[in-house]
Amino acid sequence: MHAHRRQQRDATPQDVGSLPHTIAIALQEDLGTGDWTTESLIPPEHTTRCAIIAQAEGVLCGVQVAQQVFWHLDPEIRFTDCLSDGAPLVSGTVVMRLEGNTRAILKGERTALNFLQRLSGIATLTKQFVDAVAGTGAQIVDTRKTTPGLRLLEKYAVRVGGGRNHRIGLYDGILIKDNHLTALNGDIREAVRRARQNAHHLLAIEVECTTLAQVEEAVEAGADGILLDNMPLEMLRDAVRRAKGRVRFIEASGGVNLQTVRAIAETGVDYISVGAITHSAPILPMHLEF
């Protein structure tokens, strides 16, 4: 069943065609008209060797992004001993060593660390959720609750942590939510009919349900999947019993945290969407040491 989840490709760093633009914006907001401290103190041709070091346990993500930050400032900067995304970290782990123009390294330090820490934090929290449901058959998926402008990077970090990508945006899947239904006076059958009539055949149609009656209506309307939102565990189990084998996939969302996720997974759902893995992941601290 899992193979039928979505038709879109998952996010990878190579898919982020706007990455150079994203990096340029990030550097511009930090550098502005120039780095007064570095330019006042450091001679233009000064070079240095340094390393980025992890300060906590977790999952590494964002190595290529950090390299691109420094290369944006000086393409001659050299990297050695670089770990790969997905590598496990503990405090003191050397993530990468770099050598090159000191001014460029100092100017890019904070931006590179911001990307590394943010993406590694997402990968780390995702892995905690993935580990929590291990053996149940359920998979952890993300949501659209991402940082504006960083969605593809953050969804890539989810993949590095072992999660799966939900739809990337509004353009690659149909999810009929409560507000859509309210606009149609709650008519799920009509909503599914309109979606099927107007969307192309590769788009899966999923209906958000908060009651068992809505589950029955969505199944009978021919939805490809159902999203069981904020249901108590017993209602979740009942909904799964009613829908299993009659839709292609069953997803649960709402009230999901590391303390509740395994019990949700054990109800038999195929997917559990967790907004927290992108909107609330703490950073994984790192520092650059000369």
Active-site residue numbers?
110, 145, 177, 208, 229
Strands of 205-209's sheet in order across? 139-141, 271-273, 249-253, 225-229, 205-209, 174-176
Q: What are the phi and psi torsion angles at 154 (to 5°)?
A: -70, -35
Hey, which residues does 100 pair with through a beta bridge? Answer: 48
Residues belonging to the chain:
290
Q: How far apart are CA 22 and CA 266, in angstroms?
A: 40
What b/e string do you get for 251-263 counting C-beta neighbours within 10 Å, with b at 16 or more? Answer: bbbbebeeeebbe
- Return the structure tokens found at 206: 């999923």
Neighbours of 37 (CB within 10 A): 10
